[in-house]
């Protein structure tokens, strides 16, 4: 057993498995995920109480012919049409960072490449893709167009093919980081203020409102997480950001899930300091995010 506070992980993502009464914790688990060293892959942990965990267990290890070898970031696992799909970010020399889709017929993996390369635009620097299924049962990827390429990071959406093999539409910008009053510039490059978008996650509230949590920075380059809502209830919005973040104490890249007891939980990593990131779980009152 390993205690929650002893798990190194960024970008935590929980998959509750009701039939097992067990939660699966995925995330960025390579301690060298920022470096030029070759990445190892992704691991996962399991828990019944969100405090005591078993693992790590192997979720993904790249084959020699994978073609992507660094910055293995932010894996999310979603069940769709009877299979499990992992959306994760990768980069390699001569290639832009992007989100690809892996798959397995079991939550435990091993996950193997599924999509035909990145499902984000190959000419863009992208990261943190998440899966959303709309009211017609059609799949979308919601992802970040990175500030490192465009200064003011964007959150974008593109429709996917039904088999999740590739994009089925051109991306649409939902909003820019600077559209949120609370998001602050992290630096000035070539005369441009730079605003970060990280970790979008879509959540439908009990009253049917379509919400998105996402991460950026507040004053003093402090990592934070905010919330936006679609005024139409549709994925293409328009989207309006709340005035203040819901968490601004050096943590972010979160997602929402319900416990087996029905409690709504937010999980994020904190602190946002290399090598010290740990998962935390925060009970959320849905009235606070409506």
Coil, helix or strand at residue 245: coil
pLDDT at position 264 is 96
What's CA 35's distance to the chain center, in Å?
20
pLDDT band of 289, cuts 50, 70, 90 = low
pLDDT at position 36 is 82
pLDDT (tens digit, 9 = 90+) per residue, 249-274? 999 999 999 999 999 999 999 999 99
Cβ atoms of 107 and 15 within 8 Å: the answer is yes
Strands laid side by side in the 70-80 sheet:
70-80, 83-92, 95-104, 112-113
The 10 Å Cβ neighbour count of residue 168 is 16
Taking residues 194-205, report their average pLDDT.
Answer: 97
**CA-to-CA distance for 118 and 104, rounded, in angstroms?**
17
Cβ atoms of 31 and 56 within 8 Å: the answer is no
pLDDT (tens digit, 9 = 90+) per residue, 2-17? 999 999 999 999 999 9
Taking residues 53-71, report their average pLDDT.
Answer: 96
pLDDT at position 1 is 94
pLDDT at position 251 is 98
pLDDT at position 138 is 97
Pairing state between β 22-28 and 10-17: antiparallel
Token output for 259: 């416990």
Token output for 56: 């790590």
Token output for 236: 């293409």
What separation in angstroms does the CA of 74 have from each of 243, 259, 288?
26, 21, 26
pLDDT (tens digit, 9 = 90+) per residue, 98-156? 999 999 999 999 999 999 999 999 999 999 999 999 999 999 999 999 999 999 999 99
Continuous segment of H or E residues that includes residue 211: strand 210-218
277 sits in the region (left: phi over 0; alpha: psi -120 to 50; else beta) called beta
pLDDT band of 288, cuts 50, 70, 90 = low
Strands laid side by side in the 172-176 sheet:
126-133, 139-145, 154-159, 172-176
Taking residues 185-189, report their average pLDDT.
Answer: 97
Domains, in order of start, for the chain: 2-289 (2.115.10.20)
Taking alpha carbons only, the member of 280, 281, 273 closest to residue 31 is: 273
Mean pLDDT score of the chain: 96
**pTM flag (> 0.85):** yes
The residue with greater pLDDT, 287 or 118, is 118
Say which DSSP state 248 is in. Answer: -
Coil, helix or strand at residue 14: strand
- Cα-Cα-Cα-Cα dihedral sign, residues 276, 282, 46, 1: positive
End-to-end CA distance of the chain: 37
């Amino acid at each position: 057993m390993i205690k929650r506070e002893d798990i190194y992980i960024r970008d935590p993502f929980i998959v509750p498995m009701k039939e097992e009464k067990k939660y699966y914790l995925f995330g960025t688990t390579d301690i060298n995920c920022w470096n030029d060293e070759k990445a190892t892959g992704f691991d996962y942990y399991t828990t019944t109480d969100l405090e005591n965990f078993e693992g790590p267990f192997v979720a993904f290890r790249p084959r020699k012919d994978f073609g992507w070898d660094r910055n293995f970031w932010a894996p999310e696992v979603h069940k769709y049409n009877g299979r499990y799909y992992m959306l994760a970010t990768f980069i390699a020399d001569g290639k832009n960072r992007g989100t690809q889709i892996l798959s397995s017929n079991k939550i435990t993996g091993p996950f193997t490449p599924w999509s035909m390369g990145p499902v984000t635009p190959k000419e863009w620097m992208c990261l943190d893709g998440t899966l959303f299924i709309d009211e017609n049962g059609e799949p979308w990827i919601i992802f970040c167009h990175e500030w490192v390429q465009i200064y003011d990071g964007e959150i974008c959406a593109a429709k996917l093919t039904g088999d999740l093999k590739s994009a089925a539409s051109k991306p649409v910008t939902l909003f820019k980081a600077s559209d949120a009053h609370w998001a602050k510039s992290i630096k000035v490059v070539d005369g441009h203020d730079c605003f970060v978008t990280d970790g979008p996650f879509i959540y439908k509230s009990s009253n049917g409102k379509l919400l998105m949590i996402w991460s950026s920075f507040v004053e003093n380059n402090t990592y934070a997480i905010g919330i936006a809502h679609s005024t139409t209830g549709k994925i293409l919005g328009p989207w309006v950001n709340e005035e203040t973040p819901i968490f601004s104490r050096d943590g972010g890249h979160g997602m929402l899930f319900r416990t087996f007891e029905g409690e709504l939980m937010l999980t994020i990593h904190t602190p946002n300091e290399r090598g010290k990131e740990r998962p935390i779980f925060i009970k959320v009152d849905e009235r606070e995010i409506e």
